[in-house]
Amino acid sequence: MTNDYLDSVKKQFEYYKLLGEKTFYQLSDEKLFWQFNEDSNSIATIVKHLSGNMLSRWTDFLSSDGEKDWRNRDAEFDNDITSRVELLEKWNAGWDCFLKTLNTLTTDDLQKEIFIRNQGHTVTEAINRQLAHYPYHIGQIVFIGKMAADNKWKSLSIPKGNSGTYNADKFSQPKHKEHFTDEFTNRKKD
């Protein structure tokens, strides 16, 4: 396996991180803490869970189990973040830990074995596990954000009804190699 895998997953994670952030920017503080009902999670609660998972999984990634004894997963679902600042601090703490670790990995690390709750994974499997887990929750964040913003929501991808225009633009360009996330991450926080 070449560095293409690591480069690709880094771009995909950065893309999903950006989708979460673009959602936060569209919402009032109040909407970040809104819950549909008692059994659902607010955006803030999902952020708290993601941060807890990232800190546990990616601290001492190659040398200790990914489910740390200091993690209190159940408490991650208590809706007790109180401000946008605190939400962003948790968001950034998790992502910083995760991306710092991900950026230190090399192709030589990909077949090493790590453990999550005593279950062995190759590093590649552990990355792929989180590549499914984090976007799953970021999709929830975006969906809640879209409902909360209602008709003020600005699409984070191709706006409804604009596929024809988007495709016409893409097919008018010469064939080229580009990661699918580049056009979105290069625009950052439109």
pLDDT tens track for 100-157: 999 999 999 999 999 999 999 999 999 999 999 999 999 999 999 999 999 999 999 8
**Whole-angstrom Cα distance, residue 101 to residue 31?**
32
Q: Please enumerate in sequence order all residues whose Cβ is within 8 A of that of 64, keeping only pairs 6 or more positions apart, or say none.
A: none
CATH of the domain at 150: 1.20.120.450
Q: How far is CA 127 from CA 22, 28, 92, 178, in A?
A: 24, 33, 19, 22
User: pLDDT tens across 8-46, in order?
Assistant: 999 999 999 999 999 999 999 999 999 999 899 999 999
- Is 190 part of any domain? no
Residue 137 included in any domain: yes
Residue 111 covered by a domain: yes
Among residues 58, 95, 50, the alpha carbon closest in space to that of 77 is found at 50
Q: Which domain holds residue 51?
A: 3-185
What pTM was estimated for this model as a whole? 0.91
3-state SS, residue 105: coil
* Terminal-to-terminal C-alpha distance of the chain: 35
Position 62 scores a pLDDT of 97
Domain count within the chain: 1
Which residues are paired to 115 by β-bridges? 120
Is the residue at 122 inside a domain?
Answer: yes
Return the percentage of the chain with pLDDT > 70, whole number.
Answer: 95
